Every structure is written in structure tokens, then in C-alpha cells.
């Protein structure tokens, strides 16, 4: 590492840390590979609403770009993939598709565009439940190939009503309005549920 700038050393450390984290998750998945469940122990469908800050909607925005797309994205891609763009969000999650529906949770986290040729995002976020039906959190992460009709994110843990939950959240783009609003239908199926 001799000759690398301090920021390069920090990036290498961050990359190594993320790699170890992902290898740990993979090892945890292998440990549970022998168990199979025929039916989920808990299911729910909720709607994730993302309202991107456009420079004028300060009061209504629930997400903002924190790092712009890379020059590589703009020079190598005919269809801009936003490669390298990072978006942080605190989005409402509702029981029905309307934004006026009962809010059942907040989705708090980030996604970044990591597809160089085809648009693809990678999500990591927590669903924070504070409603009459549920209290606690669900942690989700995984790839979101945005052009696919459905995509699956892993449910990697939870707290409260979802203590140590594991499962899958299937995403469907339910509505999209330009660059500044999208709605995802999330069908969540939990296969590891514990009563606390």
C-alpha cells in the first residue's frame, strides 16, 4: 500500500470490511441451508414511497442524492445507469398503494447504483414499524435489478415483533413518475419467526 493516498487506504479498508461482512452473511446462509420451510410464518404486503428531492420540494422530499453519478457512468453508458450515485432515504411505507393510506413503517437507509452497463441498484435499509399492528424493525438488503418485473431482497434480521426474523421481500415497481417519485409493492414473507 506504499504510495497510496490516505483516502485510497480508507477506501481499501472500507472495501475489505464490506467483503468480510458479506462473507459472514453467506456463511450464516450456509448454516441454515439444510432447513426448509413449506410456508412462511408471517406475510405482509406494504408499499414503499420514494419522493426524491428535486431542488424545490423540500417539505415533501423523503430521499436525496448524496453522491452524484461517476464520470465513468456518463462517458461509458449510452443509457445513463447513474453508476456510483448514492441515495439516502427516510421513506413512508403504507398499508395500501395510496400515499394517504395508513403509514405502517418508515424505510430508512440507502441505495446506490452499481450497474455499469444496465441500471442496477443495491439496497440496505431498515423498516421501522411503530403502528398499532407492529412494533420493531426488519432489516433488508440486496440487489435490485431495476428493469426486472420482480426482484427479491433478503430479510436479514429484525427486532421487537420481528425478533431475529429471516425471509424474503419481493419488490415490484408499482408506480413511477419521472426521476422524482417511485412506489414499490413489497411482498414480505418471513420464514424464521420467534415469539418474544
Asked if the structure places residue 56 within a domain, the reply is yes
Confirm whether 147 is domain-assigned: yes
Say how far apart CA 91 and CA 55 lie, in whole Å.
18
18 within some domain: no
Q: What is the pLDDT of residue 118?
A: 85
pTM recorded for the entire structure: 0.77
> C-alpha grid cell for residue 87?
441515495
Query: Which residues, including other chains, have CB under 8 Å from residue 112's CB and lie 6 or more apart?
Result: 67, 84, 85, 86, 87, 121, 122
11 is a domain residue: no
Q: Which three cell numbers stand for residue 81?
A: 445507469
Check pLDDT > 80 for residue 30.
no
- Output helix, strand, coil percentages for the chain, rounded to the nearest 5: 15, 45, 35
Q: What percent of the chain has pLDDT over 70?
A: 77
Among the ranges given (68-72, 95-99, 135-139, 161-165), the one the predictor scored with the smallest mean pLDDT:
68-72
CA distances from 97 to 40, 43, 123, 159, 173 (A): 23, 17, 21, 25, 11
The band of 11, judged by pLDDT with boundaries at 50, 70 and 90, is low
Average pLDDT along the chain: 84
CATH number at residue 150: 2.40.480.10
Domain assignment present for residue 7? The answer is no
Find out whether 193 and 165 touch, Cβ atoms under 8 Å.
yes
Range of the domain at 61: 42-192
Q: What is the reported pLDDT for 82?
A: 85
How many domains is the chain built from? 1
C-alpha cell at 58: 423540500
Sequential DSSP letters for 1-68: -TT--HHHHHHHHHHHHHHHHHHHHHHHHHHTTT---SS-SEEEEEEEEEEB--SS-TTT--EEEEEP
pLDDT digits (tens, 9 = 90+) for 104-131: 999 999 999 998 888 899 999 999 998 8
| pLDDT at residue 5 greater than cutoff 70 | no
Residue 24 counted as domain residue: no
40 vs 35, higher pLDDT: 40
Asked if residue 31 is part of any domain, the answer here is no
**91 contacts 104 by C-beta, under 8 angstroms:** no
Query: Could you read off the pLDDT of 39-91 as tens digits, one per residue?
Result: 999 999 999 999 999 999 999 999 999 998 777 766 655 567 888 899 999 99
What lies within 8 Å, CB to CB, of 22 at 6+ separation is none
Q: Report yes or no on 180 lying in a domain.
A: yes
Residue 143 in grid coordinates: 440487489
Amino acid at each position: 500500500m506504499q504510495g497510496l493516498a490516505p483516502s485510497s487506504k480508507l477506501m481499501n479498508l472500507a472495501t475489505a470490511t464490506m467483503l468480510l461482512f458479506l462473507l459472514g452473511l453467506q456463511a450464516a446462509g450456509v448454516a441454515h441451508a439444510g432447513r426448509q420451510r413449506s410456508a412462511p410464518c408471517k406475510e405482509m404486503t406494504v408499499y414503499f414511497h420514494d419522493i426524491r428531492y428535486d431542488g424545490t420540494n423540500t417539505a415533501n422530499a423523503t430521499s436525496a442524492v448524496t453522491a452524484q453519478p461517476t464520470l465513468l457512468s456518463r462517458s461509458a453508458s449510452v443509457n445513463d445507469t447513474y453508476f456510483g450515485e448514492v441515495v439516502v432515504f427516510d421513506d413512508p411505507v403504507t398499508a395500501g398503494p395510496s400515499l394517504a393510506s395508513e403509514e405502517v413503517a418508515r424505510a430508512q437507509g440507502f441505495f446506490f447504483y452499481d450497474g455499469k452497463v444496465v441500471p442496477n441498484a443495491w439496497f440496505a435499509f431498515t423498516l421501522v414499524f411503530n403502528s398499532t399492528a407492529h412494533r420493531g424493525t426488519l432489516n433488508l438488503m440486496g440487489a435490485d435489478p431495476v428493469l426486472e418485473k420482480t426482484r427479491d431482497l433478503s430479510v436479514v434480521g429484525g427486532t421487537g415483533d420481528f425478533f431475529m426474523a429471516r425471509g424474503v421481500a419481493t419488490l415490484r415497481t408499482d408506480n413511477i413518475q419521472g426521476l422524482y417519485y417511485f412506489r414499490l409493492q413489497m411482498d414480505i414473507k418471513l420464514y424464521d419467526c420467534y415469539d418474544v
